[in-house]
Structure 1
Amino acid sequence: MISYQNHATMPINFPDNRASVLYLHPAESVGTLANTSITTKAHFPFAGSSPAAPSLGRHPGAGQGRAMERHLRDEASNKEMANSPIFKGATRPAAEGFDEYAMYSEFQKSPAAITLAAQMANAGFKYVGDTGTASKANTDFDSKTIRINKNLPPKEAALSLAYELKNASQAPEFEKIMTLLKKEGTPELANAYSEGILRREAKSVLIRSQMAIAMDCTGLIKNARYNSIAADDTLSESGKEEAIFQEMRQNGMVHQGKKKAYDHYVDQFWQYNKTSKN
């Protein structure tokens, strides 16, 4: 979800039955999706660790020694990740939500995601913690902050972080599309609005599938076709985006699979266009 502070909201749905909210700004609005899945907790790599490290053996206190060793490994990894321009470390006590270091450890498995994070950090965006609402993830353009629901598992949170960063990177394009809502309605504009939203979403869907492949959790993506496209080395990046858009255009569904996504956005255009004239 992408939002602006203190503005009205409109519930919307994106392909694959993922619910979200469209925040309507007086001049422009942007909507995105939230993911749904379950996964397992990740473990941190330890810089400098070696498979040949001496065993602690079965002597008394070995259990405590191994626990301390794990603690030191995690601490070293955590300090390294806290230097990230997007993720500055835990925003809450560990017992109050998913492991944020585990989330970012998973996130770092994708070179594309790391590059995107650096780009958006340079633009002023940062991860600041929990959404504080039922929303699974959101990005606020005004404060340039990204929030992820603390109840998500780390892998799902990592996918959400990549998705939100990609949507944030497309803010100008989303804003341009939303200006169509202020114009006098025509079938051509309604189609342009629907296609524009889906093309922006296709870019975010692509990086999410690339992340899922890098994290070895493709099962979290409901439409396996997205993963197949993301893994197709015969396609360029733009070719993959186009293929995912076409898949969303033809088969993307909303409202628990009851309505075509493309038709949904056409109807949304007319709904808002009609509302704005009252």
Structure 2
Amino acid sequence: MNNIYFCQVSETVSCGACCGLYNLPDLSREKLENLLSKRTKDFTSVPRTEDGIFEFQRKNKGPHRLSRPFAQFHHCPFLGLIGEKKSRPGCLLHPATPGNNGVDYRSLSWYGEQACRTYFCPSTKKLPTIYQSILIRTIDDWYVFGLIVTEHALLTAYFKEVELRLGRRVTESDYTQNTGARDAFREFAELKSNWPYRRDNSPAPCNFFFENGLYPRPDAFRATQEIRHSSYEKIYMELDSGFSSSREIDAADQLLDNLLGKTVRAIVSH
């Protein structure tokens, strides 16, 4: 049985993607941190009553749903910063949140207490356990972790490319005991937020990972039929790519060649 838990990993790493953490327009780390910090501070003075909590919700709904990357994907206004140093995202309604005195107020949220307690994203089942282990032991930044952890197809494509070059399956120690491989993997994960070939109408780094067919991810966009296909087609699709010229896809291939090469060289030479 797989006991890896993505929701809360460490003091600095957690994931609020299923709560719509990243489903905001013009997303950036700075904007998101400021939003979560303000909510957390404001919530400390909220009376723990239905009226008090609903008033907080009314004031913190954020951008109108039609301005969000995915209009039918809720962004929970009760996402804030938790932990001793307020260093990772979490639920302000959770019974462990200071001021809640052990009371679970999640029944007052959009999804309700039952969904909050029992839902786990597809990556928990679809991402092989070894890849999950590498992920939680190498990514130590909540913003990067939350963006990449729901991308089971992207992560699987990455690790398969590494394994193809190695001629064997990767192991946890290939990354956890190898600074070079760990840094290269982090660099790959950061492509979720800084990928230079994202298509113009992309929902930005946010991912709609609920498998209900509501927002299917399209193939990589090509401005002309002359732009060739690539062996990295799956990765390009999962990164919401768009290419306006053959030069761009050549450059994208080179970028991934370099990243994967860096990973493999680090593992082989360790």
TM-score, scaled to structure 1: 0.32
The structure whose Rg is larger is 1
Q: Which has the higher strand share?
A: 1
TM-score, scaled to structure 2: 0.32
